[in-house]
Amino acid sequence: MAAMRYTAILCALIAVGCTDAGSSSGGNTGGTLVISVGGDPGVLVPALVQSVQTAEVVDMIYDRLADVGDSLNILNDQGFTPRLADRWTWSADSLSIAFHLNPNAKWHDGLPVRSNDVRFTLASTKDSTLGSPAASVISNIDSVSTPDSATAVFWFHARSPQQFFDATYQLPIVPEHIWKTIPPSAWRASDAGRHPIGSGRYRFVRWVPRAVVEVAADTDNYRGRPKLNRVIWAISSDFQTAVTRFLSGEADFFEQLRPENLAEIPKHPELRTRPYKVLAYSFAQFNLRDPANHDRPHRLFGNRELRRALTMATDRAAIVRSLYDTLAVQALGPTLHVYPTTDPNLPQIPYDPARARQILDSLGWRMGPDSVRVRNGAPLRFTLSIPGTSQVRVRTAVLLQEQWRQVGVKVDVENLEFPALMEKDTRRTFDMVLGQWNTQPSPGAVLGSWGIQASRAKSGNNFGSYENPAFDANVDSALASFDPAERKAHFTKAYETIIQDAPAIWIAEPLAIAGYHSRLQLATLRPDAWWAHIPDWWIPADKRIPRDNAPSALPGGVASPTASSTAQPAGQKSP
């Protein structure tokens, strides 16, 4: 009965005639992609993206000046593909890049994309009252000038191998005419953040919190019409419901099947799997500041030696084997094996529970009668917050709880829905949290999650508030270097610093396995953003099912709206 209710609700939300088949179009154009996800996106503003769910939607609606190619080569401009900019020119001293905008590029309300939009995007992203997580990784960009409406010139403080990457990958362009009257401090709660207008190949249709997000093809887009008519994210509150929707046929795509799900796939002959690489690592993050008063250190985790002791008490290799089998490798730190700047032999804090006990003893934490350590009458006890939508993290928490119990530490596991966990993260009101960063092609993105500016910014992604100037300085030096060996040496020093400081316990680098319906014709699943090529996915006309032919919720089906007939989405933003 529960499955029938889920089917009825989803059919109603995506306006599917669930009993009548047929084909509304031929060839490779048409069809609906339904993606099953385990949580709502955040506010749909490019500069405020802090979750994968949000990035998936935002990247369909907005465009960059240029996009990194599938090779993920971030050095200079080789491999980048024109987007809003149809060409660009470097200055003789390489301290500026002039981007010429495609004259056919338009916002979804019909107005042209102009250079003032590019200038506004940079200025707003750097505005401290907005608190963009991207601000900490674009500090080398000084400003944008606009010699004419079709030319945006980026000016840099210094030459670096990643200048072009910083100006493009980090800055999806937003329309000034939509946002200029809204103070940046109010963007997160604004109506415009729930009804976005972009220039990408899909236009926003609606967002029903905890239920569905829908985008529709921009049929006269300057880059060409995407092949699928609609993309829909079917939102579940927990991982198992999201998987069930995929296995039952209510959804077409599930981005990351777990090992225990793979045995179910052969029972459904219409389903397929595809392994793909992801730029991701999982970790258990300590909050170094008091959750109730961020001006004070955390009562436990403000102590570096206690963090190191808990790391020594953690058998990371056993956790990876138990949870992932061969579908992950042990993480090295806040980096990835695939980066050429990563030394695979980075020194680690060893698994050594005996030494962990000695350190805890030396810190004054003595074993109590109930096998929980006590100091000054207070137990060595804290809360580990996890997303209930991730079975891997639920099981990770159980293993950590047991491993730390053996050295006299009491852990309470707090199981939260993903939006509630994100709110706890961003407000920094946790003791410890299990997370996963899906990071960028540049190893410099580490500053956005572990650097000082990201710790102090209003909406920075350094939720644990780790700060070490030596770490930041070495990353900065690495990013400024054009010499590969020197670049790697600086990154190695940075990683050695943060690993020994132990602001987190880095656990695994997973290999992702996507599940999809066989009627879908997929393009490349890019490691940094598997969704990057969704506009090029297609469904053959003779393989379409009823929901493929349902019209969009936009007025007039999937035709592009005029400036006076934009879509009226439903629902409110979830935190």
Q: What pLDDT digit, counting tens, does each position of 334-381 carry?
A: 999 999 999 999 999 999 999 999 999 999 999 998 999 999 999 999
Co-location of 257 and 398 in the same domain = no
**Cα–Cα distance for residue pair 372/420, rounded to 1 Å:** 29
Q: What is the pLDDT of residue 27?
A: 62
Give the end-to-end CA distance of the chain in Å, rounded to a whole number. 30
Co-location of 359 and 431 in the same domain = yes
269 DSSP 8-state letter: T
* pLDDT, greater one: 556 or 421: 421
Co-location of 296 and 441 in the same domain = yes
Instruction: Select from 244, 245, 285, 274 the least CA-distant residue to 396.
Output: 285
Instruction: Select from 428, 431, 382 the least CA-distant residue to 404.
Output: 382
For residue 8, pLDDT beyond 60? no
For residue 63, pLDDT beyond 50? yes
Domain span at residue 38 reads 2-50+200-275+513-549
* 73 CB-contact burial (10 Å; exposed 0-12 / middle 13-18 / buried 19+): middle
Going through 396-452 in order, the beta strands assigned E by DSSP cover 410-416, 432-438
Co-location of 506 and 517 in the same domain = no
Q: What pLDDT digit, counting tens, does each position of 449-503 carry?
A: 999 999 998 778 999 999 999 999 999 999 999 999 999 999 999 999 999 999 9
**Cα–Cα distance for residue pair 408/343, rounded to 1 Å:** 34
Q: Are 88 and 200 in contact (CB under 8 A)?
A: no
Instruction: Count the Cβ atoms, other than its own, within 10 Å of residue 571.
Output: 15
Q: Is residue 24 a part of any domain in this protein? A: yes
What's the CATH number where 316 sits?
A: 3.10.105.10
For residue 572, pLDDT beyond 90? no
Once rounded to an integer, what is the mean pLDDT over residues 35-39? 92
Once rounded to an integer, what is the mean pLDDT over residues 196-201? 98
Average pLDDT, the chain: 90
List 407's β-bridge partners, or say none.
none
Q: What is the pLDDT of residue 554?
A: 54
Q: Is residue 185 a part of any domain in this protein? A: no
| pTM, to two decimals | 0.82
Co-location of 371 and 519 in the same domain = no
pLDDT more than 70, % of the chain: 91
Residue tagged 């953003």 (tokens): 529
The total number of structural domains in the chain stands at 3
Co-location of 491 and 529 in the same domain = no
Residues with Cβ within 8 Å of residue 249, at least 6 apart in sequence: 268, 270, 517
**Cα–Cα distance for residue pair 523/10, rounded to 1 Å:** 26
For residue 23, pLDDT beyond 50? no
Q: Is residue 186 a part of any domain in this protein? A: no
Q: What pLDDT digit, counting tens, does each position of 503-561 carry?
A: 999 999 999 999 999 999 999 999 999 999 999 999 999 999 999 987 766 543 333 33
Residues with Cβ within 8 Å of residue 237, at least 6 apart in sequence: 38, 39, 210, 389, 417
What's the CATH number where 271 sits?
A: 3.40.190.10
Strands of the 271-276 sheet, one edge to the other: 202-208, 212-217, 230-235, 32-37, 253-254, 512-517, 271-276
Q: Are 250 and 10 in contact (CB under 8 A)?
A: yes
User: What does the DSSP assignment read for 321-384?
Assistant: HHHHTTSEEE--SSS-TTSTT--TT-------HHHHHHHHHHTT-EE-TTS-EEETTEESEEEE
Residues with Cβ within 8 Å of residue 404, at least 6 apart in sequence: 310, 313, 314, 411
Co-location of 110 and 207 in the same domain = no
Q: Is residue 12 a part of any domain in this protein? A: yes
Co-location of 470 and 544 in the same domain = no
Co-location of 498 and 518 in the same domain = no
Q: Is residue 555 a part of any domain in this protein? A: no
Q: In whole angstroms, how far apart are CA 400 and each of 259, 349, 421, 494?
A: 20, 16, 19, 27
* pLDDT, greater one: 139 or 563: 139
Instruction: Count the Cβ atoms, other than its own, within 10 Å of residue 350.
Output: 8
> Which contiguous run of DSSP H or E holds residue 218?
none
Co-location of 171 and 249 in the same domain = no
Q: Is residue 416 a part of any domain in this protein? A: yes
For residue 255, pLDDT beyond 80? yes
What's the CATH number where 114 sits?
A: 3.90.76.10
Least confident of 1-10, 179-188, 317-326: 1-10
Residue tagged 């729930």 (tokens): 194
H/E/C letters for each residue in 17-39? CCCCCCCCCCCCCCCEEEEEECC
Q: What is the pLDDT of residue 556?
A: 39
- Top mean pLDDT of 2-16, 94-108, 417-431 is at 94-108
**Cα–Cα distance for residue pair 160/145, rounded to 1 Å:** 20
Co-location of 394 and 531 in the same domain = no
The phi and psi torsions of 43 (rounded to 5 degrees) equal -60, 140
Q: What is the pLDDT of residue 1?
A: 35
Q: Is residue 184 a part of any domain in this protein? A: no
One-letter amino acid at 114 equals: R
